[in-house]
């Protein structure tokens, strides 16, 4: 399946860009990409439908529609972002809109692992710091430079110490975050483990 969009590859250590702030707790994946857009066999067209219902409701005033947020690549969110459905379509839609990293108070589990799997690092900051960034956003667009190795985000007068899971950080810095090839390296171990499972012995494969 070939598509024009080029997902990130290799090691990720620096991400710089304009911030886009989306205020709200428990923003679920149905809101990020409503279910009707999951009727597709690839992810290519999803970028333009990100937050489709919310955007239509706000008639041009949604952060993802504001002219000032055009070209933004660092999404700043509140708590439990991406809860609900496991649809990878949600981070895929964000990525295709232009999001390269997300900073938030907290993330839902499956959404977080989907982001990591496709190369969107997710960082956490305390509520207070998120509020500070989001407030700043009301006045003018903030540009942040994220350094993954140092786990910091810097603007002219601001500096934040970002939290990221150690496993995710190592993966991005080493460039080995495309899991499939890593997993395949343990081919023999997989075979052995599978054959040693008790239920493989007492189940037939004849369904």
Please identify, using beta-carbon distances, which residue of 40 and 158 lies nearer to other proteins.
40
Build a one-symbol-per-residue string for 41-60: x at contacts with other proteins by CB under 8 A, - elsewhere.
xxx---------xx-xx---
Give the span between the Cα atoms of 56 and 59, in whole angstroms.
Answer: 5
Please report how close the Cβ of residue 155 comes to other proteins at its closest, in angstroms.
Answer: 25
Q: Does 25 bind other proteins (CB under 8 A)?
A: yes
Tokens 């207070």 sit on residue: 128
Minimum distance from residue 110 beta carbon to other proteins (Å): 5
Min. distance of Cβ 179 from other proteins in angstroms? 5
Residue 163 DSSP code? B
Closest by CA to 147, choosing from 3, 4, 15, 56, is 15
Q: At what angle do helices 109-118 and 89-97 cross, to 10 degrees?
A: 50
- Interface with other proteins, residue 140, by CB under 8 A: no
| Residue of 95, 64, 74 lying closest to 142 (CA atoms) | 74
8, 16, 66, 79: which one binds other proteins (CB under 8 A): 79
Q: Output 61 or 180, the one with its CB closest to other proteins.
A: 180
Among 38, 162, 12, smallest CA distance to 92 is for: 38
In this complex, which beta carbon is closest to other proteins, that of residue 158 or of residue 197? 197
Is 100 a residue that touches other proteins (CB under 8 A)?
A: no
CB distance 132 to 153 below 8 Å? no
Tell me which stretch binds other proteins (CB under 8 A): 26-34, 66-74, 136-144, 147-155. 26-34
**Residue 83 Cα distances to 78, 106, 186, angstroms:** 12, 10, 32
What is the token pair recorded at 192?
């052995």
Q: Phi first, then psi: give them for residue 109, nearest 5 degrees.
A: -55, -55
| Residues at the contact surface with other proteins, assessed by CB under 8 A | 1, 24-26, 28, 30-31, 34-36, 38-43, 53-54, 56-57, 78-80, 83-89, 91, 106-110, 113-114, 117-118, 165-168, 170-171, 174, 176, 179-180, 182-184, 186, 189-190, 193-194, 197-199, 201-205, 207
């Amino acid at each position: 399946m070939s598509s024009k969009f080029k997902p990130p590859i290799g090691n990720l250590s620096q991400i710089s860009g304009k911030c886009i702030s989306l205020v709200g707790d428990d923003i679920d994946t149905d809101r990020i990409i409503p279910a009707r857009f999951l009727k597709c066999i690839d992810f290519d067209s999803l970028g333009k439908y990100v937050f489709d219902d919310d955007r239509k409701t706000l008639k041009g005033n949604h952060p993802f529609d504001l002219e000032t947020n055009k070209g933004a690549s660092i999404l700043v969110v509140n708590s439990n972002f991406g809860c609900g459905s496991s649809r990878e379509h949600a981070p895929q839609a964000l990525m295709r809109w232009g999001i390269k990293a997300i900073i938030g108070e907290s993330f839902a589990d499956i959404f977080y692992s989907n982001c990591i799997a496709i190369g969107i690092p997710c960082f956490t900051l305390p509520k207070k710091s998120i509020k500070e960034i989001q407030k700043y956003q009301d006045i003018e667009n903030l540009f942040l430079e994220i350094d993954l190795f140092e786990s910091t985000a810097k603007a002219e007068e601001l500096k934040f110490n970002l939290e990221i899971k150690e496993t995710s950080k190592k993966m991005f810095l080493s460039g080995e975050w495309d899991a499939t090839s890593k997993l395949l390296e343990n081919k023999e171990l997989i075979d052995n483990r599978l054959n040693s499972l008790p239920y493989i012995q007492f189940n037939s494969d004849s369904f």
